[in-house]
Amino acid sequence: MSGHSKWANIKHKKGKQDALKGKVFTKLGRELIVAARMGGGPNPDINFRLKIAIQKAKAANMPNDNIQRAIQKGAGEQDANNFEELVYEGYGPGGVAIMINILTDNRNRTAGEIRHIFAKNGGNMGETGCVSWMFKQKGYITLEKEKLNLSEDDLLLLVLEKGAEDLKLEDEEEVEIYTDPENLESVKDGLEEVGVEVVNAEISMISETSVEVTDPEQAKLLLRLMDYLEEHDDVQDTFTNFDISEELMEQME
């Protein structure tokens, strides 16, 4: 997967900071509700989407009472808003592709607000299908290199045996593993069975090609657009195909 974007790494590395914001609990709560309602019921042992949502909520230090209330809402035990799952697509500065997963109880309001964010930050919201053809749905797992208890060779053999497609070691801090969506759970469970701590496991949209952003001003505008999208209450996740060199990132910082 040569084109997994710089944005994916940025998001995961700043996740601990985002977890300090109260807003993150709202988004996690929505995902728990929808996962319990649409993913196969309130039992995480048979509902993998809910299992992943619970793990993300706990990683963000969401209180257990909040987690259980959200699951109960999704299971119909408490009143809950009827959230609609949508995917918006568009282009950022430099023509980079952007996909956005949405959970909303008012699609007209959300569409207007997301379109405004694009327009104010050098991008434009497109029609359905305008960029989705560039992406494929994949399982995506990250590990911290300093916590690995396996050699790189043993790790590679293990994940391939469990159904992984690719493993990337280029990042100084993280290992990235890619799977078919249906193999995500088996790879994750295989790692945990041998004591490997999984930092993140999710179904992601991966682009096989990337757009290199080399202009500092364009890069700043693009990152600002992505930040505004991420901060919107109805945005659950964002995917894009841009790449920015480490040198340019350091220059901007």
Is the per-residue pLDDT at 3 higher than 80?
Answer: no
**pLDDT higher for 59 or 182?**
182
**pLDDT value of position 22:** 66
Same domain as 216, residue 183: no
**pLDDT higher for 43 or 15?**
43
Same domain as 234, residue 129: yes
**pLDDT value of position 173:** 85
The pTM for the full model equals 0.83
Same domain as 13, residue 51: yes
Q: What pLDDT digit, counting tens, does each position of 177-226 carry? A: 999 999 999 999 999 999 999 988 888 999 988 899 999 999 999 999 99
Confirm whether 110 is domain-assigned: yes
Same domain as 124, residue 139: no
Q: Which domain holds residue 115?
A: 84-133+209-252
Same domain as 161, residue 117: no
**pLDDT value of position 17:** 54
Same domain as 245, residue 141: no
Q: What pLDDT digit, counting tens, does each position of 64-92 carry? A: 999 999 999 888 865 556 889 999 999 99
Is the per-residue pLDDT at 115 higher than 70?
Answer: yes
Average pLDDT, the chain: 88
Confirm whether 167 is domain-assigned: yes
Same domain as 178, residue 164: yes
- The domain total for the chain is 3
**pLDDT value of position 2:** 44
Query: What does the DSSP assignment read for the chain?
Result: -TT--HHHHHHHHTHHHHTTSTHHHHHHHHHHHHHHHHTT-S-TTT-HHHHHHHHHHHHTT--HHHHHHHHHHHTTSS-----EEEEEEEE-GGG-EEEEEEEES-HHHHHHHHHHHHHHTT-EE--TTTTGGGEEEEEEEEEEGGG--S-HHHHHHHHHHTTEEEEE--SSSEEEEEE-GGGHHHHHHHHHHTTPPEEEEEEEEEESS-EE---HHHHHHHHHHHHHHHHSTTEEEEEE-EE--HHHHHHH-
